Structure 1
Amino acid sequence: MISRTVLEWRKIRYGDGPDEIPEWAADRLASVARANPLGGEEGARILQHGRTSLRAQQVVGVIAAEDCTLEILPKIDGLGDGDSAASQAQIRRNLVHMLAVALDLDIASGQMARLGWQDENLLEVLIRLFCDRLFEAVHLGLPRRYVAMEEDIPTLRGRLDVIRQFSTLAASPDRLACRFDELSSDIPLNQIMKAAVARLLQLSRSTHNQRRLGELAFAFAEVSDVPVQSLRWDSVILDRTNARWKDLLELARLLLGERFQTTTSGRGQGFSLLFEMNTLFEEFVGRTLRRALVGTGLQVDLQGGRLHCLAELDEEYAATGRRRFMTKPDIMIRRGSERVMIIDTKWKRLAPSIDDPKQGVSQSDVYQMMAYGRIYQCPNLMLLYPHHDGMRIEAGITSRHEVVGCDDQLATTTLDLSQLAACTPALRSLICRVADHISEEAAVGP
């Protein structure tokens, strides 16, 4: 079994060495990448399939084909070069932490410490996390609900189905067509868990995970087998009696391909568990900001706004009311109806200002932020990037500019992802420094 790890944007050459990958394995992995919707044309947004090497792009996760697996990890400065097992383990830990924040999962530090960061790839780590949480929940009993039942039995139970009794059972007076409610564990929530266990049993290569999944499969033996595509996610009811299953439902949704990534399979050619870092970084920042600004009177909207750029005019230049080109800023911070700040996140590396006065900021990104400022009448605009050591300055504000012709200001900023616990105060501080009329005391809240 060939198993390799590579950082995003890096190459892994063809060969039989420990830091290389056999060409036959590269061909199979590239084929799986092409089948994934995130891959774009020929899977090039995931892997570039060259003549001498595979080159990872900005999508991270795990791709597996017959007898080979490739793990793609994000490049996070401050966690080593990604070549050593210790560095890769720390990157996995931070990536799972970002996923947990983005999915609003509550993962205790003790549980994080038990995961095999150096021994397993990202998929096996997520499977182990799912197994551990599911074991704890199953130990307290499977959730049950009253389910409507129909059965023909000798004695009356519940209500009599009169129509069925005097039509279908007219010649069988010894049977009564009954309708009743029965407390059952065969409900959509448990069906989802059973489907996740069954899928992961097919995917996992870890002996430990295989054993745990086998035990969990036995616990759900009385629950119906439902194909993944037929699972009734909208029918799941979470209340105070089964609130502990909320995180498990999100993990199952993640592993079954309902959020962020797409899992594909067919005729055994392989599967993929992939995350687009642009999307994950945006969600992580947005949800971290929500926590950072609790109690401040500020609200955080993700992919909100939804105002249009243009209003259509008729031949006589009168407004028709029809709108065109909807906008969806990544993150908008409001105080009531007042728009305080608009933030756009970018998962790419800024250049030091010494090397490039524009720092590699895209002109189209600047135009987009200027448009947001005018459309939403918001004077404080921010472009937020991941920090890296090559910046030669500390994380935070790297430049500030006034938009010519108005009072809007655009700040270019970075966030250090090597210490995720420090991201909440770092983001709160950034908001205070960019939006001058928000005091540090007001942002901290009560």
Structure 2
Amino acid sequence: MKPLVSVREYARLTTEAVPSSLDRAHISVTAFDWLCRLNESFSRAGAALVQVEGRRWLKLDNYVGVLETPCGTRLEILPKHIEADTCLAQSRLLLRRMIQAALDLPTREAGPAALELFDAPTSEWVMRQFLQALDYLLKRGLRFDYRRVEQEQRFLRGQLNVAAQLRQPPGRQQRFQIRHDLFLPDRAENRLLRLALDRVCQTTQESGNWRLAHELRGLLLEIPPSRQIREDLRAWRNDRLMTHYQPVKPWCELIINQQMPLAVAGAWQGLSLLFPMEKLFERYVATWLKQALPNTARLTTQATGKYLCGHDGGRIFRLQPDLLVQRGEQRWVLDTKWKRLDTTNRSDNYGLDQADFYQMFAYGRQYLAGQGELILIYPRRAAFREALAPFGFGDGMRLWVLPFDLESEELIGVAQTTLPMST
């Protein structure tokens, strides 16, 4: 059994013997050194996985998910959405909901109650969803396809390859050059499923997952695993005959690290399911808004088309807000921030970043022509339960700062704004 270390964002890891909690945990020296080397590759790409604090301490950044080290340590990083340090099951449930909603992943579970019953690390939950979807697919039946085979035989089968037969040397004229079709399950979709299943068999530690994975593996033994992942993904068909393959596809892509916001690359091919928390929060809020807005309103994620200024006959510094809502001629610009605000700390501007306000002001000038409402959305916490009073930019443009409750899935204070919401 590989050791599992469950912590949350900004937790501190150490090689010293310390009492374990969600904010502080002990890891092996080999795992510590590997994380330091991994952080160097992140830093070269302009990001940071951890902050090194001396020779014995690391501080995690705002990535969540699962990371497996070469020594076998599996690090589970959960969102830090509440202050209590005894919220392991609650944090796992939240992360699963956010991953599922943000990536638009289907599930065959009955509902939240089923999620709570499976109190296992996030990686095991992902693998369970894939196995359930694959089990359902196999019960419906795999898709076979005809594959053209050209070979030399002592008997005729299919078509005679006349051109190749005429080139036969005199000593081999008794053999036939033939071509024929075989009806086989060896096609791109099935090869990808076999590859994902092999990875699950190698990494799962939950007994139910292990048993189901090996049962399904026995049914796919005649299918070779994919060796050209990108080419096979492009060849995955989405026509009417492949409808029953659609529920398993996103889980398959997740397992083989093709749909991850961030996957760890390198010589070590361990389990890697890492998500930048700010992107996960942004997509989660966008998914909620799509359901909450009326049919007359249109939501655009990562809107483009506007620039900060013109220069030398062109435009420069593209402005790209997270969310843009439009209904008729009216527009609203929304941006999500995975930051912790404190409404009691007025002297420090509640923890608000001045650069974020400059950014929102630029969005308002270009997308709203200086007239309308802007909304900043932060996660709700004990110190930030209600919407702040609006901030005025003058000339008919104001900014709202609203908390989003991740537990009840509700945008607090949205009724004070003019943003259209379905009743």
Q: TM-score range by the shorter chain?
A: 0.7 to 0.9
The secondary structure found in structure 2 opposite 1:343 is strand
Measure the CA separation in 2 of the matches of 1:32 and 1:339.
Answer: 50
Deviation at 1:254, TM superposition (A): 1.6
Q: How does 1:254-273 map to 2 (within 5 A)?
A: 254-258=254-258, 259-264=260-265, 266=267, 270-273=270-273
Amino acid at match of 1:412: V
Q: Cα deviation per residue 1:245-266 (whole Å; 9 max; x = unaligned)?
A: 2232111212222221304352
Deviation at 1:372, TM superposition (A): 1.1
Q: Which residue of 2 aligns with 1:329?
A: 321
Q: Is the 8 A contact 1:4 1:71 kept in 2?
A: yes
CA displacement at 1:150 relative to structure 2: 4.2
Is the 2:307–2:315 contact (alpha carbons within 8 Å) kept by the matching residues of 1? yes
Given the alignment of the two structures, is residue 58 of structure 1 paired with residue 62 of structure 2, yes or no? yes
In the alignment, is residue 361 of structure 1 matched against residue 360 of structure 2?
no
Given the alignment of the two structures, is residue 345 of structure 1 paired with residue 328 of structure 2, yes or no? Answer: no
Deviations 1:18-60 (A, max 9, x none): 514145154245146437x6x3259972222333433221001
CA distance in 1, matches of 2:145, 2:250: 20
Aligned to 2:94: 94
Compared with structure 1, are the counterparts of its residues 111 and 291 closer, same or farther at alpha carbon in structure 2 (3 Å cutoff)?
closer
Q: Distance in 2 between matches of 1:241 and 1:82?
A: 49
Amino acid corresponding to residue 332 of structure 1 in structure 2: L
Conserved? CA contact 2:127–2:200, under 8 Å:
yes
Q: Secondary structure at the match of 1:390?
A: coil
1:398 maps to 2:376: no
Alignment partner of 2:362 out of 371, 378, 398: 371
Distance 1:147 1:281, change over 3 A: farther
Q: Give the fraction of aligned pairs with identical amino acids, expressed as a percent.
A: 24
Instruction: Tell me the secondary structure at the aligned position of residue 202 of structure 2.
Output: helix
Q: Deviations over 1:220-271 (max 9, x none)?
A: 2121222365552111012333323223211121222222130435257x54
How much has 1:169 moved relative to structure 2? 8.8
Q: Structure 2: 5+ residue runs without aligned partners?
A: none
Q: TM-score, normalised by structure 1?
A: 0.81
The 8 Å contact of residues 261 and 275 in structure 2, kept in 1 or not, is answered as yes
Whether the 8 Å CA contact 1:116–1:125 is kept in 2: the answer is no
SS of the aligned residue for 2:75 comes to strand
User: How far, CA to CA, are the matches of 1:299 and 1:26 in structure 2?
Assistant: 47
Sort the Cα spacing of 1:100 and 1:14 in 2 relative to 1 into closer, same or farther, 3 A: same
CA contact (8 A) 1:262 1:272 kept: yes
Contact 2:192–2:225 (CA under 8 A) maintained in structure 1: no
CA contact (8 A) 2:4 2:73 kept: yes
What residue in structure 1 maps to residue 402 of structure 2? 413
Q: 1:267 to 1:6 in 2, by over 3 A?
A: closer
Aligned to 1:5: 6
- Please name the residue that 1:316 is paired with: none
Tell me how large the CA RMSD over aligned residues is. Answer: 3.1
- The 1:263–1:207 alpha-carbon spacing in structure 2 relative to 1, beyond 3 Å, is farther
In structure 1, C-alpha distance between the alignment counterparts of 2:168 and 2:362, rounded to whole Å:
68
Gaps of 5+ in 1: 314-319
8 Å CA contact 2:14, 2:32 repeated in 1: no
Match of 1:388 among 381, 401, 405: 381
Q: How does 1:45-194 map to 2 (within 5 A)?
A: 45-51=48-54, 52-65=56-69, 66-77=71-82, 81-83=84-86, 87-110=87-110, 113-114=113-114, 119-151=119-151, 154-155=155-156, 157=158, 163-167=163-167, 172=173, 174-178=175-179, 180=181, 182-194=182-194
Residue deviations 1:87-139 (CA, integer Å, cap 9, x gap): 21121111111111112123244266445767532112211222122112212
Contact 1:403 1:410 in 2 (8 A): yes
Deviation at 1:286, TM superposition (A): 1.1
Which moves more between the two structures, 4-13 or 281-290?
4-13
Query: 1:403 Cα deviation (Å)?
Result: 1.3
- Alignment match, 1:435: 418
Asked whether the equivalents of residues 346 and 385 of structure 1 are also in contact (C-alpha less than 8 Å), the reply is yes
Whether the 8 Å contact between 2:13 and 2:59 is mirrored in structure 1 is: yes
> Which amino acid letter does the alignment assign opposite residue 46 of structure 1?
L
Distance in structure 2 (CA, Å) of the matches to 1:356 and 1:152: 84
Give 1:166 deviation, angstroms: 4.1
Give the Cα–Cα distance (whole angstroms) in 2 for the partners of residues 128 and 282 of structure 1.
26
SS in 1 for 2:331: strand
Q: Secondary structure at the match of 2:106?
A: coil
Q: CA deviation at 1:351?
A: 1.9
Structure 2 distance, partners of 1:30, 1:246, is: 36
1:220 is aligned to 220
